[in-house]
Amino acid sequence: MGDKGSRLREKLLSGKVAFGTCVDTHSPATIEVAAYSGLDFVRVDYEHSWQRGDSPEHLMRAARVGGIVPLARVDNDENLIRKALEAGAEGVIVPHVSDESDVKNIVSAAKFPPLGKRGYGSISFSGKWGTGKAAEWIASSNSQLMVGVMIEEPEAIEKIDDITSVPGLDFLLFGPSDLSTILGIPGQTSHPRVQEALEKTVKSAKKHGKHVMIGVNYPWEEKVKQYTELGCTLIELGHELTILYSIWHSSLERLRNA
């Protein structure tokens, strides 16, 4: 267990904004490049992107080589949460939570006793393959690992104060795409109803000492300014594939029209 999780936590506690990105292609090289660029964290997606073989350990190892905090998005399943943390994720992001009980179960799955019910399995990458000291691994895991949930459904917005009040929860990733789809305005992530939900989420998070993450697309300066002024402290700069597309596409348009 390294100290990257604590560095991200310390950055947030100091009042600074942390920047990251999302990787869907499961490329260790991409994660290393993200780290070398100076980003603070990388979200590795296992909700929509298919998990293949031993790729999680390779991705987490690449994050440690580069010095970036890897956060794994996994479904709300205690076995998947445990496996992601054993594979080396410095935190988890769980989608589709709807109430306080969901969040309590997620925190419990991510924490060792007495803070939770995570099973002990040190024969793993994060456990240094059983060569480390059990007490130190448990203590550092419980204190350093980041626990996040996604806020992307109307039910969660209605119960946002109950959700953000759960001890052990560190941050919320606001999901405007799913929320806009459920509200019947798909793709309209800037719609007033979506933005009102975001404002409510940020207000509740501040009240309970939690952080809010949100993603922005390229070019991102305007949105970053808007969301950081609102109070979001974790900014995800797109996905590696959408970034490549946006830069190639806009560059070609400029070159062909020169």
pLDDT tens string 68-78: 999 999 999 99
**Tokens 């919320």, located at residue:** 172
Tokens at 210, concatenated: 């939690």
pLDDT digits (tens, 9 = 90+) for 152-183: 999 999 999 999 999 999 999 999 999 999 99
The pLDDT of residue 53 is: 63
Report field, pTM of the whole predicted structure over 0.85: yes
- In this prediction, residues 112-127 reach a mean pLDDT of 96
Nearest to 19 by CA among 185, 196, 216: 216
Confidence of residue 258 (pLDDT cuts 50, 70, 90): confident
Q: Whole domain around residue 156: which residue ranges?
A: 4-256
Mean pLDDT of the chain: 94
d(CA 227, CA 255) in angstroms, rounded, equals 32
DSSP state, residue 87: T
Q: What is the mean pLDDT of residues 134-144?
A: 95
Bridge pairing between strands 69-73 and 91-94: parallel
DSSP code, position 94: E
Q: Domain with 215 in it: what CATH number?
A: 3.20.20.60
Instruction: Give how many domains the chain has, as a whole number.
Output: 1
Q: Which pair of structure tokens corresponds to residue 179?
A: 């929320």
